[in-house]
Amino acid sequence: MDSDQILVIISSLSKIDEDDSIPKNIRLHIKNVIITLEEGKQVNIKINRALEGLEEVNRDPNLPMYTRTQIWSMICALEQTLSVYE
């Protein structure tokens, strides 16, 4: 179940990454978060690193508001998934 949630988040992040209206530096951070989530490390470690990356993206003033809302949603989903592993 939890890995399914991570796959859904990766899919959502990929859609943001493919959106040309998103600034390139933000898409680069999103790619790094995707790579982090796809790594074979322990689930709690990769979720924590992904959360750090998404929080950094969220602080970018050039992030469109509709994308910021999507990022918040993904942060919440990752935090819920992380709570299972703690």
Confidence band (pLDDT; 50, 70, 90) for 2?
low
Residue by residue, DSSP assigns 7-67 as: HHHHHHHHHHHH-TTS-HHHHHHHHHHHHHHHSSS-HHHHHHHHHHHHHHHHT-TTS-HHH
Residue 39's pLDDT is 87
Number of domains in the chain: 1
Question: For the CA atoms of the chain, what is the radius of gyration?
Answer: 12
Look at the pTM and tell me if it is higher than 0.85. yes
- CATH code of the domain covering residue 31: 1.20.1440.50
Looking at residue 1, its pLDDT comes to 40
Question: What residue type is assigned to position 35 of the chain?
Answer: I
Q: How many residues does the chain have?
A: 86
The model's confidence at residue 82, banded by pLDDT at 50, 70 and 90, is confident
User: Tell me: the pLDDT tens digits for 15-74?
Assistant: 999 999 999 999 999 999 999 999 877 888 999 999 999 999 999 999 999 999 999 999
Domain that holds residue 35: 2-85
